[in-house]
């Protein structure tokens, strides 16, 4: 990740997180045109001070290729 500081509060403690659904399952990304193919968990980076989410990304983008 390129950003080393939070753009909202200037805190330098940026953490990695995992997005979970209400039932505790990790949220996954699927290719738009093939919802039955392989998926990848969605993760994020967030500021540990103010909670601002700096970005979302898929852990395994190779799983989303045709």
pTM listed for this prediction: 0.72
Over the stretch 23-66, which tens digit does the pLDDT of each residue have?
A: 878 888 888 888 788 888 989 999 999 999 999 998 988 988 86
pLDDT, residue 31, reads 82
Domain residue extents for the chain: 14-64
Long-range contacts at 38-45 (CB < 8 A, ≥ 24 apart): 38/63, 38/64, 39/63, 39/64, 40/64, 42/18, 43/16, 43/17, 43/18, 43/19, 44/16, 44/17, 44/18, 44/19, 45/1, 45/3, 45/14, 45/15, 45/16, 45/17
Whether the pLDDT of residue 11 is over 80: the answer is yes
């Amino acid at each position: 990740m390129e950003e080393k500081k939070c753009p909202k509060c200037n805190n330098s403690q940026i953490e990695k997180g995992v997005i979970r659904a209400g039932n505790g399952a990790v949220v996954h990304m699927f290719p738009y045109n093939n919802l039955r193919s392989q998926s990848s968990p969605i993760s994020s980076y967030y500021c540990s001070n103010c909670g601002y989410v700096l970005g979302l990304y898929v852990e395994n983008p190779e799983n989303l290729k045709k």
